[in-house]
Amino acid sequence: MLRLGSRTFAAHEPVIMAIVNRTPDSFYDQGATFRDEPALTRVEQAVAEGAAIIDVGGVKAGPGEEVSAAEEVRRTAGFIAEVRRRHPDVVISVDTWRHEVAEAACEAGADLLNDAWGGVDPLVAEVAARHGAGLVCTHAGGVQPRTRPHRVAYDDVMADILRVTLGLAERAAELGVRRDGILIDPGHDFGKNTRHSLEATRRLGEMTAAGWPVLVSLSNKDFVGETLDKPVKERLVGTLATTAVSAWLGAQVYRVHEVAETRQVLDMVTAIAGHRPPAVARRGLA
C-alpha cells in the first residue's frame, strides 16, 4: 500500500503524476506553464483528467541557465501553496534535489519529494522524515544534477539500479521516512543511454519484485525519441507503449505530460490484468 498526503493507494492501483514545469525553458513545453495562470489551468485540467499527484518542478533536468536554490524556491513554493489551497485532497510533489527547496515546499504543503538525482543532497531524505513527506529514490548513475551522461557503462544496469535505489530507500526508512511513502524510480535517461533505459524497462519486473512501489518517468524522453527517431512532440505513441509495458510489469506511479491518454492506457492494462472491471458491460448481454 502507498500513502501520500491524505491519499492511500492500493497495491494494484495505478497512479498518475502530472508534470507542471515552473520553468521558462522546459524541454517539452518551452515554458508554457512558467506563469501562474497557465500553470494553475494545467493543474485543473490534470486533476479533471485523472491525475492524483501534481509534480511541480522549478528547474529543468537538462543543462541550461543556472538556477539558484532561492530562485527555485521562488518558482515553486508559493505555487504549491496555491495548489494546496485550491485542491486540498490532491497529492503535491516537488521535483528537486536540494534540501532547501524541499524544506520550503513541505512548509508550503507538499506531500512528496521527487528527488530525481539519486540523493546527491543527502539532506533531502531528512527533510522528508521531518515533515512526514514521501520520497522518490531514483537511480541517476552517479552523475551530477543537470548533466548528461557521457559514455556511461554498467556491467549490469538493473543490478546497479537495484543497488542504488534499494540502498536509498532503506536509508530513508532508517531516517524516519514512512515506509509506505517511499518509492523507487529506475531513472530513465538519467545517467543512462538509450539501450540502458530500454533494458531497465524490459527488466522492470525485477524492481517491482523488490517490495517498494515503483515510479516511472517515461514521458517523451530521449530514449523514446532515439528508439523511434522522433522529435519531442512526436513521442506520445512510444511513451504510451512503454507505459503499457511498465504497467504490465507492475509499476505503480507514472510521471507524465499527457494525463488523459495515459489514464486510458493504464485502465486498459489494469483491466486486462484483472484488477478492474470494464467501465461498461453491454456486448453479448442483449
Query: Which residues are the active-site residues?
Result: 221, 255
Q: Is the sign of the CA dihedral 47, 260, 113, 75 positive or negative?
A: negative
Does residue 20 contact residue 128 with C-beta atoms inside 8 Å? no
Beta strands 91-95; 15-21: pairing state: unpaired
User: What is the Cα–Cα distance from 5 to 88, expressed in whole angstroms?
Assistant: 10
User: What is the Cα–Cα distance from 93 to 96, expressed in whole angstroms?
Assistant: 9
Whole-angstrom distance between the N-terminal and C-terminal Cα of the chain? 39
Q: Helices (DSSP H) in 87-175: which residue ranges?
A: 99-108, 123-131, 157-175
Cα 130 from chain centre: 22
